[in-house]
Amino acid sequence: MNVLTKREHFTNSRATNFYYSFMFLPPEKREAIEAVYAFARHGDDVADGDLCHDDVRRGIERYRETLDACYAQYPLTSDGRPRFEKQPSLQALCEAIRRYKIPRQYFEELILGLDMDMRMDLGELRYETFEDLALYCSRVAGAVGLIAIEIFGYRNPQTKEYALNMGQALQLVNILRDIQSDARRGRVYLPQEDLDQFGIRPGALTEGGYTSSFVELMQFEGDRARRAFDAARRYLAAEDRRAMIVAEIMGAIYWRLLKAIQARAYNVFGERVRLSRPEKLWTALSVYLGAEWHK
């Protein structure tokens, strides 16, 4: 199983939230960030698919082998050809890593996040505290944010904290939106201490137990996501604000998604909460033109 077997422009699909931010990048940076997100997305597909656990482990190991090749000085095959000449997405990933000098540790953190999902599927891991969940968010979303800002370009070191907090905010919104579908495959991301505090059984998330206690739990977790958005904004230095316009668009779209969840009185069971394409496009354009989204 190859990590990627074809060019995957998944961000070109208007169904994805990322399309509406990446469209504002110059071609070179857009190609680089698409390669990174294709790599990350395929990792999700490996971890979230119907593969047996041994295949998932092998898939994760192949991820590390791919990184070995990308971080080699000359990623060539034994006969001297480019290692990924028939896999344009991976060739683009190697080029992005070299051009933007992306530290390998960020990719390693992402892979550790995939490993956490696999361990959850095996029943070896659950999140007892928010600190446990925050580590997961840092690995699967914060690490991608750190990679992204290397591509976008930044001057102030505190922009790394912006990326980490924005990643946490986006991941928390994803968790709240997908709480039932995740629970049905055995993944309960909300900390056990929070479930205990509001008297929620993990099974109720699978069953669609929409109760006043569930609403209180969702309000509690939604407030955490809002605080992560707030923290990200505090860390965004003025000199890097324009360079982070793509990240700001992503933040705005997920902020509005969180507001949509709230507007449904936190009833995330049944039909998936989503924004319409025109709403996402309008959000992207307004942020690009300088509108303040975080209200």
Q: What is the pLDDT of residue 7?
A: 36
Mean pLDDT across the stretch 102-113?
94
The Cα 43–Cα 73 span in angstroms is 24
Q: What is the pLDDT of residue 247?
A: 95
Of 57-71, 119-133, 211-225, which range is least confident? 57-71
Greater pLDDT, 87 or 133:
133
Per residue in 232-277, pLDDT (tens digit) is 999 999 999 999 999 999 999 999 999 999 999 999 999 999 999 9
The Cα 38–Cα 96 span in angstroms is 12
Mean pLDDT across the stretch 31-50?
77
Residue 157 pLDDT exceeds 90: yes
**28 secondary structure, DSSP code:** H
Q: What is the pLDDT of residue 127?
A: 96
Q: What is the pLDDT of residue 292?
A: 87
Return the domain boundaries, the chain. Answer: 18-288
Mean pLDDT across the stretch 152-162?
97
**How remote is the C-alpha of 82 from its chain's centroid?**
29
Per-residue 3-state assignment (H helix, E strand, C coil) for 61-119:
HHHHHHHHHHHCCCCECCCCCECCCCCHHHHHHHHHHHHHCCCHHHHHHHHHHHHHHHH
Classify 18-288 by CATH class: mainly alpha
Q: What is the pLDDT of residue 79?
A: 58
Residue 284 pLDDT exceeds 90: yes
Nearest to 267 by CA among 194, 218, 224: 218
Q: What is the pLDDT of residue 230?
A: 97
Residue 121 pLDDT exceeds 90: no
Whether this prediction's pTM lies above 0.85 is answered by yes
Nearest to 148 by CA among 285, 25, 293, 276: 25
User: Radius of gyration over alpha carbons of the chain, in Å?
Assistant: 19
Of 3-12, 64-73, 246-255, which range is least confident? 3-12
pLDDT band at 28 (very low <50, low <70, confident <90, very high): very high
Q: Do the beta carbons of residue 25 and residue 33 sit within 8 Å?
A: yes
- 112 Cβ contact list (under 8 Å, min separation 6): 139
Residue 49 pLDDT exceeds 60: no
